[in-house]
Amino acid sequence: MTFRADAGTGEVPVVVEYRDDDGNRYSTTTPVPLVNRTAEDGDAGVPAAAAVAVILLFAVAAAAVWYYRRRRR
């Protein structure tokens, strides 16, 4: 993910929305803290390991919500 933010921004909300097989809509918002990096630092983005960790976090959260909803039936 690449974006620009104002100088005083400390975190950005990342919203993940999805639907299960029954058409139920789910949404989760996770605030992601920003690290002060610029393209001049020689690194134009977040390291690949951090990006994978965020994706895995969202996948685990989505699976937990699905499992919890499925079990309640």
> Given this model, what pLDDT does residue 45 score?
58
In which element (H, E) is residue 45 found? none
Q: Could you list the pLDDT tens digit for every one of the 73 residues in the chain?
A: 677 778 888 888 889 999 988 889 999 999 888 876 555 555 555 677 788 888 999 999 999 998 888 887 6
Percentages of the chain per state (helix, strand, coil), in multiples of 5: 35, 25, 40
Domain locations in the chain as residue ranges: 11-71
